[in-house]
Structure 1
Amino acid sequence: MKIGVLALQGDFREHKQMLQSLGVEAPEVRKQEQLEGLSGLIVPGGESTTIGKLAREYGLEQAVRERVEQGSLAVWGTCAGAIWLAKEIIGYPEQPRAGLLDIAIRRNAFGRQVDSFEEPLEIQGFATPFPAVFIRAPVIERVGPGVEVLAREGNRVVLVRSGKLMASSFHPELTGDSRLHRLFVEMARG
């Protein structure tokens, strides 16, 4: 099984290392032809506007959209990647994005870089809390029909899933806990 990591900008290396630790081949994706043969794609944290602009410029936005609509590609967006997946970015209607996941998301909802924190999260299906790292994190303010909420930080939605799509406000790749990456591998396999 191969799960690609969008490597246009952001912390793609950490996702790649986490996938490799699970025995999954994890090529870096920068061009649309590199999507061939992938079961899944992780869109990492970073700068959401930059990721969106580059994905559009390199034809990846449309290529990912087509593969998701065909059911051949699972996609997980973390932090900026979650913003890229969202149908609506509150306050930024013109920002380039794939718009595949029926959520409305607010950028930097947890504050600035200096407001970063780690918190144990209760995640649906996990026996013990997950060490979630929040860095300039977005918050999911609306979920559409068919979107399942898997975790909240207080009353704020921070992890959702819909079919073969998943979005997290936080950075699971910055922890030693591979459970969310394992969950995504299973989603991509299924």
Structure 2
Amino acid sequence: MSGPGPGSVGRAVPRVGVLALQGDTREHLAALAEAGAESVPVRRPAELAAVDALVIPGGESTTMSHLLRVFELREPLRERLAAGMPAYGSCAGMILLAGEILDAGAAGRAAEPLGAIDITVRRNAFGRQVDSFEGDIDFAGLDSPMHAVFIRAPWVERVGDGVEVLARAAGHPVAVRQGNVIATAFHPEMTGDRRVHRLFVDLL
């Protein structure tokens, strides 16, 4: 793992932060704890500096992007990601971790990409809230399908070199990995299946 937090040396259990500005933070904190990590909420630059890795939860990507600026977290987060901090993003988290966002939102409130993984994503690609759905999908490296929950979900329209597609739905990539960054269009934190979180914790 590269880019660890300054307090990680000698720590047996990885400390994984969950961005706690908006979205389903509580569910990710619980899932990470069940997957064997020390999970902590992150709202301030000092809290970001103290974690080994970060999860960006589902929520509303334009609101989360705005709050990253308000809480002066955007640039410290970009710097940690550029330095190699492991990260996982679900739904809105996938959107923000991307290199490019299509239909990013209205000017002045648009979701801004953090550039942690070389993909192009389309916001709300599967439709609006009423078009949310669930289904079983095959996920690379897992011995049985995952039950996936899609809520106003994005999909990946372009995959860059070095990006591994882990799962597809409706013909589009919905789970990807590049190095120590993982992103899913669906919400594994909303089910009892902790395999994606364990996969992420195992990277650490």
Q: Which amino acid aligns with 1:83?
A: I
Aligned length: 187
Match of 1:146 in 2: 162
2:178 is the counterpart of 1:166: no
The aligned residue for residue 5 of structure 2 is none
The one-letter amino acid of 1:62's match is E
Give the alignment's Cα RMSD to 1 decimal: 1.3
In the alignment, does 2:131 pair up with 1:86? no
Counterpart position of 1:52: 65
Which residue does the alignment assign to 2:6? none
Match of 2:198 among 168, 172, 182: 182
What is the one-letter code of the residue matched to 2:72? Answer: G
Partner of 2:9: none
Deviation at 1:77, TM superposition (A): 0.9
Report the Cα offset of residue 67 of structure 1: 1.5
Cα 1:127/1:107, change in 2 over 3 Å: same
Alignment of 1:98-109 (within 5 A): 98-109=114-125
In the TM superposition, residue 176 of structure 1 has moved relative to its aligned partner by 0.3
Instruction: Identify the residue that residue 29 of structure 1 maps to in structure 2.
Output: 42
Q: Which structure 2 segments of 5+ residues have no match?
A: 1-13
Deviation, 1:97, is 3.0
CA distance in 2, matches of 1:54, 1:65: 14
SS at match of 1:27: strand
TM-superposition CA deviations, 1:5-24 (whole Å, max 9, x none): 00000001000011112332
Q: Is the 2:100–2:113 contact (alpha carbons within 8 Å) kept by the matching residues of 1?
A: no
Instruction: Report deviation, 1:99.
Output: 2.2
Q: Specify the alignment match of 1:126 in structure 2.
A: 142
Deviation at 1:68, TM superposition (A): 2.0
CA distance in structure 2 between the partners assigned to 1:86 and 1:133 by the alignment? 20
TM-score using structure 1 length: 0.94
One-letter code aligned to 2:103: G
State the AA in 1 paired with 2:92.
A
Which secondary structure state, in structure 1, belongs to the residue aligned with residue 51 of structure 2?
A: coil
What's the TM-score once normalised by structure 2's chain length? 0.88
Alpha-carbon distance between aligned partners in 1 of 2:35 and 2:195, rounded to the nearest angstrom:
10
Percent pairwise identity: 51
Question: How many angstroms does 1:30 deviate by?
Answer: 0.5
| Partner secondary structure for residue 136 of structure 1 | coil
